[in-house]
Amino acid sequence: MTLYVDKTVAELTAPPSKKGRGRPLEPFKNTPRQLIVYYGRLAAMSTFQRQSLRKVLDELVRELAEKPNPTALSHRGPVRKSA
């Protein structure tokens, strides 16, 4: 009986994982919500990867320059003086 159980257990394997292990191989990842840059991989970037990262960063800097974020102080109403 134990021989049969051991043989059956030995045949069982884990299902293949759906995701790869660890970080992706790209030096940067641009998603609609965030930009992820792996600093350790910047030195090994190809020319095409450098150009595409520069393009994404230029668009981000342009967006930041166009839309200044209003501060909380700019929306303050009149202040009441207390006696």
β-bridge partners, 30:
35
pLDDT in tens, 3-60: 677 777 777 776 777 776 776 678 888 888 999 999 988 998 999 999 999 999 999 9
Q: Are 44 and 27 in contact (CB under 8 A)?
A: yes
Quick one: pLDDT at residue 48? Answer: 94
Sign of CA pseudo-dihedral 18, 21, 23, 26: negative
β-bridge partners, 29:
36
Instruction: Kindly state the tokens that stand for 53.
Output: 């990262």
pLDDT in tens, 40-49: 889 989 999 9
How far apart, in whole angstroms, are the C-alpha atoms of residue 55 and residue 61? Answer: 10
> How do the domains of the chain map onto residue ranges?
24-67
